[in-house]
Structure 1
Amino acid sequence: MSLADHYRVLGLRSGAAFTEVKVAYRRLARRYHPDVNPSDQRAKDKFIQVTQAYQALAELAAPEIALPPAAVSVASPEVSSAGSSQESANAQPAAQPPDLIPRVQVNPKLSQVDQLLKQQLYEQLQQFLQTQRLPRAIALVEGLSQRFPQDLEVRQWQAITYQRWGRHLMEQQEWDKAERYLQKALRTDPHNKSLWRAVSQNLQALKQARGQVPQA
């Protein structure tokens, strides 16, 4: 479709501000979403058109607005310890594990509607993680795993979300619960080496932090 067609699909005039594009997209996506219209093929086709128009205009308006290739990462926790003065002097910035979530890839086993839904929910998951709305992120990713139980990419997102929640629980000193979620992350995506390194750091930090808690 041409640029004018993308604006027309969203019910906007050509050259409308991107804020208007976002508002129009959200309104139309809610109206034509496959979950709202499960047996309406015309609604599904419209949902696809609306999503494609939004993505095209998002990339045109500003590349950083479009879904980035790896915006959700697993960061090592910062747990203080009684280190030596030499260690402090020689300290380097903590190495961060590589980004663990790639751009949503095309899964040939999914319909086009499901592929677009998956990307839309991925973007929402990023927002939840970036704004520390972790309980909502957990609920979303577990719903995704039920919708796409065989999707390896979704399993990776689920494991990362468990890791992030476990790290948050460490900050709240909920040690037992934190350890359960960290172990759950490993069980969910056992072959992800980057995740294993990050969770191993988390578990080591958790062990050290537990040892620093005064015994009653």
Structure 2
Amino acid sequence: MDLGDCYRLLGLRSGASFADIKASYRRLAQQYHPDINPDDNKAKDKFIALTEAYKLLLTVVLPEEAVADSSQVSRTGRDHGKTTQRQKTPVTTVTSQESGKPKPPNVLEIEERLKWKTYDQLQRFLQERRFPQAIALAEALADRLSTDAEVRQWLAIAYQIWGRALISEKQLLKAKIYLKKALKTDPHNKSLWYEVQRDFQRLEQIF
């Protein structure tokens, strides 16, 4: 199940807010809940699918209050095959002389926090070998920050890692698809290109 399927199951457009996702799930869950439809297997299957879609979207879409959190965030880069350097993003709390309240963060600050919060979650998914969730998360971030070269690199690396795992699982055709996606997503990354070429060599040896 990809993100598009999740949104469609909940009757929402792609990019719907956390509040909309939650409201739609509650409404549909009440409609298809097994307690309300005890002898209806189709309703039971629908309820299970809705719950899975809801849980997956919760890993991608942050609550509005979390996005608007104005706490100062400073993170260091992570090394994942190729070192990705990230600059500390200063988040300055400015006190208004009139109201005495902190100035809310601007859009760029919010996007930056979302980006690195998502990166941390992506790393956890990859470490736990939860590859479908990792791919869904990276694709959602790439859709939102489509011009960010760093995010594009993360997505390409996620594709490559899953492709490599699929080789080990002897799912060779599927592995080939995701390795090609990695190259297409970040075509100018020479380090990634060499890694993927080695993976293709492994594929040829197995075939």
Shorter chain as normaliser: what TM range?
0.5 to 0.7
| Bigger relative CO (Cα 8 Å, ≥ 6 apart) | 1
In the TM superposition, residue 30 of structure 1 has moved relative to its aligned partner by 5.0
- How high is the TM-score relative to the length of structure 1? 0.55
The alignment of Structure 1 onto Structure 2 pairs a total of residues equal to 129
1:48 to 61, 66, 70: 70
Q: Which ranges of structure 2 fall in alignment gaps of 5 or more residues? A: 1-61, 90-106
> Matched residues in 1 for 2:186 and 2:170: separation?
25
- What amino acid maps onto 2:77 in structure 1? P
Query: Structure 1's 31 and 149: CA in aligned 2 closer, same or farther, altered over 3 A?
Result: closer
In the TM superposition, residue 105 of structure 1 has moved relative to its aligned partner by 7.0
Q: Which ranges of structure 1 fall in alignment gaps of 5 or more residues? A: 1-28, 35-43, 57-66, 74-98, 211-216
> Matched residues in 1 for 2:84 and 2:201: separation?
23
What residue is the counterpart of 1:32 in the other structure?
A: 65
In the TM superposition, residue 209 of structure 1 has moved relative to its aligned partner by 1.2
2:203 to 179, 200, 206: 206
- What amino acid maps onto 1:122 in structure 2? Y
> Matched residues in 2 for 1:48 and 1:206: separation?
48
- What amino acid maps onto 2:193 in structure 1? W
Q: Does 1:70 align with 2:78?
A: yes
What residue is the counterpart of 2:84 in the other structure?
A: 101
Partner deviation per Cα, 1:50-103 (whole Å, 9 max, x = no partner): xx2xx56xxxxxxxxxx5422433xxxxxxxxxxxxxxxxxxxxxxxxx24333
Query: Structure 1's 159 and 104: CA in aligned 2 closer, same or farther, altered over 3 A?
Result: farther
% identical equivalent positions: 42
Q: Is 2:159–2:182's contact at 8 Å kept on the other side of the alignment?
A: yes
Query: Structure 1's 198 and 104: CA in aligned 2 closer, same or farther, altered over 3 A?
Result: farther
In the TM superposition, residue 202 of structure 1 has moved relative to its aligned partner by 0.2
- How high is the TM-score relative to the length of structure 2? 0.57
